[in-house]
Structures are given as structure tokens and as C-alpha cells.
Amino acid sequence: MRQDGPISLWDTTAEERAPDPAASLPAQVDLAIVGGGYTGLSTALHAAEAGLSAHVIEAHGIGQGGSGRNAGLVNAGIWLPPAQVKQALGPDYGPRFLRRFADGPQTVFDLIERHQIRCEATREGTIHAAHAASGLRDLEGRHREWVAMGEPVDLLDAAAMAERVGTRAFPGGLLDHRAGTVNPMGYARGLARAARAAGAGISTGIRVTGLTKAGGGWRVETPQGPVAARAVVLATNAYTDTLWPGLRRSYTPIHYVQIATRPLGPEAAHILPGRQGLWTTAPIMISLRRDARDRLILGSMGRLIGTAQSGVTARWARRELARLFPGLGPVAFEEAWDGQIAMTPDHLPRIHRLDEGLYTPIGYNGRGITTGTIFGQAIAGLLTGADPAGLPLPMTDVAPVASAPLMRRVYALGFAANQLIRGL
């Protein structure tokens, strides 16, 4: 069931229309997928193209979780620099993981092109902006590593950042030419359209209430009746509930808030003139982008406190934009929203094998577009005979994060304090 009103700016501005809900659930499928975001839809699309009968069951609407609330940055790689990924994953999986994620934006943009997904796709790169001298040193190290791997990234000095971003607030940055931006809800709905065209089924407004092993497969319980499935993928990431015991305790959920100005027109033309998406190296990072209608969308870690027009978040956003772009003048905000991110202790995602024929990719650490697309493709390959050793990273068992309940509260308090103090 949809909540009243849009869940984000992207919900109302996406050119792709939301798919109609299926009239009924199938009695039996090869693959049942719980969750209608990037992971579930990519899994359904690739599984259907490989000849499996696949059906997505979504409790609310397509993209209603993190996918439709995303910032829309199609980034290559993850939060960690390449050397740390190699150290964490070892000599076999480390280079393979880096290669798959370096090519992640290409995978996304290829799907957009192949299926003509209307999602305001731009491929002018993304900018990782240094918030201070310490952040610039980190970016210099990342630049050396990526260049040594032959990847197209440029280190920008303060003058180049001023030209690319429209502010002198950043001492430097890293421009990743592999990356880009999309309307994230448009991409999710486009994947749904493509999955249905490939033969996959999609049912929305139906919550899965139970999973039991039955007849060599799984019985997927819903209020509309059971579905028998040979295999099941839980594709819920940060919106995981209690369907599978212990899974929700395997990551730390944090909130990410975004607020969008009204269309600014020519007065914003100097801000991100190439329409790259930007995020900073600050411990409490911010993100910034300009959409196709010249809105500025500012984001940071934390909940929405108040509304787009008034309250702590709106005050923080006004101060932040005035700090970055003092010549911009007063701005009015049109929409504000927040979403959840699943953070893991090592900032690496996971692919868990929960039981025979039951899998979940999880812990995307704020990189949902590329990670969900790649992992959906990989899981579909696994279910159609690919060697598990070819996955981007090894399958693991679920392990609880003991500190998650405490850290969730600590993060929430810290992020709220950051908005309050910086909005004064």
C-alpha cells in the first residue's frame, strides 16, 4: 500500500509511470523476489531474460523504499579506496570486486539505453569533494590508486573545483568520469517495465508474511495466498523487517535526508554546470546535485526534521546553500524527504545464503543504484547455473552487529545535532 502523498521529489518528477499491480499472485514460480527496488527488479529482469519464471512481491509500491528516495548518483566503486577492498577481500575476490564495481555505472547506463528507460540519465561523472585538507589527502591517495588501475579519474584543484561546482568552498576534489546521475525513481520504474516485458511478474501492495521450506523449495506466505517457489531472493536491504530472523540485526540503519529547491532557472546555471552529482569527504557528508529542471537537491545524513518549508532541516539547508553559494540569495524549498541506508561495520556489502535456495544481498552503505543492479544480475546468474565463485564477493552467513542498536541511536543524535548546530 502506498503512503499518502509522494515519498520524494523523484516520485512526482519521474517520467516513467508506476506499473499497475498484478491482478493476482501466481501459484508457483521458479523464483520469488521479495522487494521491488533496484535489487529485486534487476534480479527479476535478468532471471526472466535467462528463462526463469520470476515474480516480484512488493509490500508497497515500486521504489517505495530506498530506491525511490535515493540521491540518484550512479557511482563507481564503494566508500573504501581500492587498497582497502583488496585487503578485505583478498587476492581473488578483491580485484574482481573492484572490476565489477568500476564497471557498475556502465552496467546501469547500458540497461538504461537498452530498455530506453526515461530517467534523466546524465553521464558527466560524479565529484567527490574534499571538505578540508585532510579530505584532499584522502582523495589524492584514491586518485593514485585508480590511475594505477587505468581508471578515468581526475584530481581537481581548488580552481578547477570552483569552475566545476560554482563555489570556492572546496580545496579540491576527484572527478570520476565513469559515473553519472539519474532520476532514481525513474530508473526503478524503468527496470520494472523492462522486467515485465521480459516475462517477469510484479505484484505491489502485497506483504510477504512468512517463508517455510516445502517440497524442495519455499512456500511464500501472503494475505492473498501462498506462492510456491524453487528459490527466493530477499531484496529489501535497509528496509528489511522481521521476515527472516536475525537479518535486520546484521547492519546498522541510518537515515539520509534530502531537500530540493524550487526550479531556479538561470540563477543556478553556474552551480554544477555539467550536472555532476557531488558528495563530500566530511564525516557527516553532504551531497548536492542539480536536476533536469534546475532544482538544487541537498542531502546529508539524518532524518527530516520539520518540512521543506520550515523546521530544523530547512534552516540547515538554507545556511548550507548560503555558505556554499553566497551569491545565490534566498531560496524556497519545494520537497523534502528521508530514507534509510544499511551500513556494515567494514563498509562492504554482503551476499548472504540464508538457506538452500534462499539468498539476500544487503548492506549497500549508500550505493544502492550500482550495487543493487550488479547484485541482482549476479544472483540471477547464480540461479541459472553460474559458478558461485564468480560472484562479486563470497557468499557469507548472517552475523549480527552487536553494536547496531546503540550506534543507531548515537548516529541519530549526532546527525540531528549537526543539523541543529549548522542551521543556527
> How confident is the model over 39-54, as pLDDT tens digits?
999 999 999 999 999 9
Confidence of residue 403 (pLDDT cuts 50, 70, 90): very high
Q: Report d(CA 149, CA 99) in Å as an integer.
A: 10
Q: What is the CATH number of the domain that holds 227?
A: 3.50.50.60
pLDDT band at 183 (very low <50, low <70, confident <90, very high): very high
> Quick one: pLDDT at residue 240?
96
366-380 pLDDT, tens digit each: 999 999 999 999 999
Average pLDDT score over residue span 123-143 = 97
Query: Is residue 118 situated within a structural domain?
Result: no
> For residues 68 and 7, is the Cβ–Cβ distance under 8 A?
yes
Q: Which domain holds residue 227?
A: 9-70+185-250+345-401
How many domains does the structure of the chain reveal? 2
Pair 150, 32 in one domain? no
Whether 382 is covered by a domain: the verdict is yes
> pLDDT exceeding 70 applies to what percent of the chain?
99
Residue 214 lies in a domain: yes
Q: What is the pTM of this model?
A: 0.97
Between CA 114 and CA 386 the distance in angstroms is 23
User: What are the grid coordinates assigned to 398, written together?
Assistant: 548472517
Residue 337 · residue 257 · CB < 8 Å: yes
User: CB count, 10 Å around CB of 134?
Assistant: 10
pLDDT at 2 over 80: no
> What is the rounded average pLDDT for all residues in the chain?
96
Which amino acid, 168? R
- Cβ contacts of 44 within 8 Å, gap of 6 or more: 31, 33, 54, 55, 56, 195, 198, 200, 202, 376
Q: Are residues 20 and 140 in the same domain?
A: no
Residue 332 lies inside a defined structural domain of this protein: no
Q: Are 306 and 419 in contact, with CB atoms under 8 Å apart? A: no
* Residues 55 and 170 both lie in one domain: no
pLDDT tens per residue across span 262-286: 999 899 999 999 999 999 999 999 9
Please report the DSSP string for 73-136 in residue order. EE-SS-SS-HHHHHHHHHHHHHHHHHHHHHSHHHHHHHHHHHTT--S--B-S-EEEE-SSHHHH
Predicted confidence (pLDDT) at residue 65 exceeds the cutoff of 80: yes
- The string of pLDDT tens digits covering residues 206-245 is 999 999 999 899 999 999 999 999 999 999 999 999 999 9
Let me know: does 60 contact 1? Beta carbons within 8 Å: yes
Q: Is the pLDDT of residue 391 over 60?
A: yes
Co-location of 55 and 158 in the same domain = no
**What is the pLDDT at residue 392?**
93
53 close to 32: Cβ distance less than 8 angstroms = no
- Amino acid, res. 81: P
User: In this predicted structure, what is the pLDDT of residue 4?
Assistant: 63
Give residue-wise pLDDT tens across range 330-362.
Answer: 999 999 999 999 999 999 999 999 999 999 999
Same domain, 199 and 240: yes
> Quick check: is 82 in a domain?
no
Residue 381 and residue 357 in one domain: yes
CA distances from 342 to 13, 40, 184, 349 (A): 26, 16, 17, 9
* 192 lies in the same domain as 173: no
Residues 246 and 189 in one domain: yes
Distance CA 127, CA 289 (A): 10
DSSP label at residue 365 = T
Let me know whether 32 and 170 are in one domain.
no
Residue 385 falls inside a structural domain: yes
